[in-house]
Amino acid sequence: MVKENRASFVDGDQGIKYEIKIKGHLEEHWSDWLGGLAIGQDREGNSLLSGVVPDQAALHGILAQIRDMGLTLISITPRSENVVFGREKHDVSSES
């Protein structure tokens, strides 16, 4: 069986940075299965998944995998900057 990293299918190399907080400790080996998101822990012992998600369909796929693993979702935080070609791009939508 071949593992696929969903983050490698970024259309046009664009996406939105997200931080997803999960209750409890999640080991780093789950990163590939969760769209290639980086996995870390906070002080309360929760897991933080962070990285670029190419589109809403990929985000829903990651959330479905979290659900299927029986994990408790605490929060999803989109970051204000968009990402293009692996670099952060200033978000001008918040400027007046």
Residue 14: per-residue pLDDT: 82
Q: Cβ(87)–Cβ(10) under 8 Å?
A: no
DSSP label at 58?
A: H
What are the per-10-residue average pLDDT scores of the chain (96 residues)? Answer: 39 80 95 94 96 94 96 92 49 42
> How far is Cα 15 from Cα 7, in angstroms, rounded to an integer?
9
Domains of the chain: 15-81 (3.30.70)
- Dihedral angle, C-alpha 40, 4, 61, 47, nearest 10 °: -10
Give the global pTM.
0.70
Q: Per DSSP, what are the bridge partners of residue 50?
A: 19, 38
